[in-house]
Every structure is written in structure tokens, then in C-alpha cells.
């Protein structure tokens, strides 16, 4: 088979100026604000940020799986050039699962407890011309691929008969059976202990290569980002505040929030480490400040930050930052230190 050539502009997913609002108790919550990113074929793109910053909402918007009280007032979600926001329910169903698969933090809520794993894998084949023999072979192949021993036997079992790590594997197998081109993985390892977490990360990385998939990975764990992602977006209060390739983000963070997160990692190795809280709290999404959302917690905050929302600005090729004073972090190392005078 001819090897696919990945062109630089080969975007599988392109999200432009996405905004999501939630309405409850007469209040409007600005959960996602002007988010723009793309995912290339074969690439893993990560979202990282504290709880409530809008990671899941952004990723659910991509497949229009938002709660009923959500609205998308603005934005474009191009999957292979087609705007998902404009698709009919019928066309959307053809993309969901088959083209874009999603795995969640908690397999027990994603898998049906009263159906065998086999039935749930077979559901992925609805609409194909596969024979029963082909379906069975493919189901066994998927369970084997995710490292479930004795797949022939385990296919006939129910999810409650699986251990935590095996449940996660079964959910991944079920999702991957449809051969999606884009996998959205929302905190796929958070509920697991560290050893199993490591196995699942390696597994997704391996399968991604084998199947040539793209992955949108959501996590609050910078260690997981470093192990899995080619590029990453740091989210804060519904905004992207910094995007870069993963190496650049860790080596040269230019947003004070990103820098704070990296500095707060407990080990020097920066591996397997969850986000440590930075002093202060995130603003309410119902009352976002008119200036920089991170301003109230930022050591560099000035009048301009209080009054004016910074735009996402490209400071070097592929590295975008939403900060009026990002130059202050240029060449910064170790703990946050202010470099004056440069612009
Ligand atoms: N249906 C809803 N109605 C109102 N607010 C909602 C709804 N769903 C989510 N939110 C709010 O939107 C914000 C973003 O939520 P989201 O679940 O996207 O965050 P997250 O970054 O995925 O957080 P976590 O790391 O905890 O999973 C949060 O403040 C959340 O409370
Ligand atoms: Mg979430």
C-alpha cells in the first residue's frame, strides 16, 4: 500500500473561532471563547488546563455532543473541509463514531452494562456489508490489539466482568472497531492507577501509528501531554492562552499561566505529574473580566491587562500566545522571573 504523504496543510480537523455558551438559572456562561486550532492527519493534539476551563466542552462541540442548554453562537468546525455545525442529523450520524470516535474517562458510562462486549463492537459495523464471520474476526482483532487476553472468550462477557484497566481497553477497542480517522480521548487515563495509565498511553500511541489516526487528547496532566502530544493548547477560562509544539511549550513557555503550571510540577523530571494549583482561582464564566482572564492571578498584570483582552498572537512560527507582555518570559528559566526592557 502506498504510504500517505502528510502535507504541511493536511488538516483533518480545522476549528475556527469556536464559541460555546451555556444557559442556566438565567445566566449565560462563556465556556468556550474564540477557540481556533487544527489537527493534521496522524497528529496528536492536546488540550491541557485546570478543571472547568472548557476542555470537554470544546471537544464535545466538535462532534455536536453538547448538553441541551448549550449554544454555539459562532464558529466553524471543518472536518475534511465539511462544516460539522451545518450537517443534518443524518449526515452527522455518519461521521460520529465512524469517522470521529470518542473515548471517555469513565468506561462504565460509555459502555452498555446489559450488552456483551461483542454486541457493542458489532454496533460499530452497522451499515457495513461485513459478514458475521468478518465481524467476529474484526472484533477479536480489536480486542487483541488493545491487549485483552483470550479475546474469543472475553467478547462474550459483560463490562462488569472486566477490571478497571480492561474496561478502558474494552471501550477503546469498541471505539476503534469503527476505524475512526480522528479519536477524541477525554481524560482516558485519569481514573486509572499509574501503571495502567502508562499502559493505556503506550497503547493509544501504538494504535495511532498502526491505524494512522489523528488524536485529540484532553488531560489536566502535563506528564500525559509530554508522552503523547505533538502539539498542545493550554486553556484557561474557556480561552486558548498558548499553543505550541510540545517540546517548545515545555522548553520555552511564554504565557505566565503555562509557565506557572510547568514550574509547579513537583518533580524536576516533569513526568506523570498533575497540575498543581496556582495561587488564586479561575474567574466565573458568567462574569469574565473584560481584560485578560488570567490577569487577577498574574504576577505581571498591568493596567493594560485589566482593560484589554489580549489577542492570540504568533510570537514565532507555530507558537501562539494570548498575553500583552509575553516578551517578559523570553529567556526565562526556572521560576518566573521578569525580564524588563525588551519588546
Ligand atoms: N450543561 C452545562 N450547563 C452549564 N454549565 C456547564 C455545563 N456543562 C459544563 N458547564 C460548565 O462549563 C465549564 C467548562 O466545563 P468543561 O466540562 O468543558 O471543563 P473541563 O475543562 O473539561 O473540566 P474537567 O477537567 O473538570 O473535566 C465549566 O465551568 C462547567 O461547569
Ligand atoms: Mg472535562
Contact between 53 and 235 (Cβ < 8 Å) = yes
The pLDDT confidence band at residue 9, using thresholds 50, 70 and 90, is low
Contact between 170 and 113 (Cβ < 8 Å) = no
Q: Pairing relation of β-strands 319-321 and 239-245? A: antiparallel
Q: What is the rounded CA–CA span in Å between residue 229 and residue 210?
A: 16
Mean of all residue pLDDT scores within the chain: 88
φ, ψ of residue 232 to 5 degrees: the values are: -145, 150
Please give the average per-residue pLDDT across 52-66, as a whole number. 95
Q: pLDDT for 279-292, tens place per residue?
A: 788 899 999 999 99
The pLDDT confidence band at residue 277, using thresholds 50, 70 and 90, is low
The pLDDT confidence band at residue 330, using thresholds 50, 70 and 90, is confident
- pLDDT at residue 271 is higher than 60: no
Q: Is 51 in the pocket of ligand 1 (CB under 6 A)?
A: yes
Range with the largest mean pLDDT of 144-148, 233-237, 332-336: 233-237
Q: pLDDT for 206-241, tens place per residue?
A: 889 988 999 999 998 898 999 999 999 999 999 999
How many angstroms separate the alpha carbon of residue 66 from the centre of ligand 1?
Answer: 10
Nearest residue (CA) to ligand 1, atom 19: 52
How many angstroms separate the alpha carbon of residue 241 from the centre of ligand 1?
Answer: 18
Q: How far is CA 194 from CA 54, 220, 292, in A?
A: 25, 15, 36
Q: How many CB atoms lie within 10 A of CB 342?
A: 8
Report pTM.
Answer: 0.88
- pLDDT at residue 270 is higher than 90: no
Higher-confidence residue of 45 and 202: namely 45
Q: 208-238 burial string, b = 16+ CB within 10 Å, else e?
A: beeeebbbbbbbbbbbbbbbbbbbbbbbbbb
Q: Is 233 in the pocket of ligand 1 (CB under 6 A)?
A: no
- Report pLDDT for 6: 47
Q: Is 210 in the pocket of ligand 1 (CB under 6 A)?
A: no
Atom of ligand 1 minimally distant from the CA of 49: 21
Please give the average per-residue pLDDT across 245-267, as a whole number. 89
HSE-up of residue 241 (Cα within 13 Å, Cβ side):
30
Q: 111-128 burial string, b = 16+ CB within 10 Å, else e?
A: beeeebbbebbbebbeee
Q: pLDDT for 181-190, tens place per residue?
A: 999 999 988 7
Higher-confidence residue of 190 and 1: namely 190
Higher-confidence residue of 335 and 78: namely 78
Q: Provide the edge-to-edge strand list for the sheet that holds 27-40.
A: 27-40, 11-24, 70-79, 82-83
Atom of ligand 1 minimally distant from the CA of 218: 22
Q: How far is CA 139 from CA 59, 110, 210, 320, in A?
A: 27, 18, 16, 42
Q: What is the rounded CA–CA span in Å between residue 136 and residue 194?
A: 32
Q: What is the rounded CA–CA span in Å between residue 196 and residue 184?
A: 19
Q: Is 59 in the pocket of ligand 1 (CB under 6 A)?
A: no
Secondary structure tally for the chain: helices H, strands E? 12, 12
The pLDDT confidence band at residue 2, using thresholds 50, 70 and 90, is very low
- Report pLDDT for 198: 84
Q: How far is CA 82 from CA 60, 85, 92, 215, 250, in A?
A: 17, 9, 11, 18, 33
Q: What is the rounded CA–CA span in Å between residue 44 and residue 185?
A: 10
Amino acid at each position: 500500500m502506498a504510504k500517505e504523504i502528510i502535507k504541511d496543510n493536511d488538516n483533518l480537523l480545522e476549528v475556527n473561532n469556536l464559541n460555546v455558551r451555556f444557559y442556566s438559572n438565567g445566566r449565560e456562561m462563556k465556556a468556550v471563547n474564540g477557540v481556533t486550532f487544527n489537527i493534521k492527519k496522524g497528529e496528536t493534539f492536546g488540550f491541557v488546563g485546570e478543571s472547568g476551563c472548557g476542555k470537554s466542552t470544546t471537544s464535545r462541540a466538535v462532534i455536536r455532543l453538547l448538553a441541551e442548554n448549550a449554544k454555539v453562537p459562532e464558529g466553524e468546525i471543518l472536518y475534511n473541509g465539511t462544516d460539522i455545525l451545518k450537517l443534518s442529523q443524518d449526515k452527522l450520524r455518519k461521521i460520529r463514531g465512524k469517522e470521529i470516535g470518542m473515548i471517555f474517562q469513565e468506561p462504565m458510562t460509555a459502555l452498555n452494562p446489559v450488552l456483551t462486549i461483542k454486541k457493542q463492537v458489532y454496533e460499530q459495523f452497522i451499515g457495513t456489508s461485513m459478514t458475521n464471520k468478518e465481524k467476529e474476526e474484526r472484533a477479536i482483532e480489536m480486542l487483541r490489539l488493545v491487549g485483552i487476553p483470550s479475546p474469543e472468550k472475553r467478547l462474550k462477557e459483560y463490562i462488569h466482568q472486566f477490571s478497571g484497566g480492561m474496561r478502558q481497553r474494552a471501550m477503546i477497542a469498541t471505539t476503534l472497531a469503527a476505524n475512526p480517522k480522528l479519536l477524541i480521548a477525554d481524560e482516558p487515563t485519569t481514573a486509572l492507577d499509574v501503571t495502567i495509565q502508562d499502559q493505556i498511553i503506550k497503547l493509544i500511541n501504538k494504535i495511532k501509528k498502526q491505524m494512522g489516526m489523528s488524536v485529540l487528547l484532553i488531560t489536566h496532566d502535563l506528564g500525559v501531554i509530554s508522552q503523547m502530544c505533538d502539539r498542545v493548547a493550554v486553556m484557561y477560562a474557556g480561552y486558548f492562552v498558548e499553543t505550541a509544539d510540545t517540546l517548545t511549550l515545555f522548553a520555552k513557555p511564554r504565557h505566565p499561566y503555562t509557565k506557572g503550571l510547568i514550574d509547579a510540577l513537583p518533580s524536576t523530571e516533569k513526568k506523570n505529574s498533575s497540575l498543581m494549583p496556582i495561587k488564586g482561582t479561575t474567574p466565573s464564566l458568567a462574569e469574565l473580566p473584560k481584560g485578560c482572564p488570567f490577569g487577577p492571578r498574574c504576577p505581571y498584570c498591568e493596567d493594560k491587562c485589566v482593560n484589554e483582552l489580549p489577542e492570540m498572537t504568533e510570537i514565532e512560527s507555530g507558537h501562539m500566545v494570548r498575553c500583552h507582555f509575553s516578551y517578559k518570559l523570553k529567556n526565562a528559566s526556572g521560576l518566573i522571573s521578569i525580564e524588563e526592557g525588551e519588546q
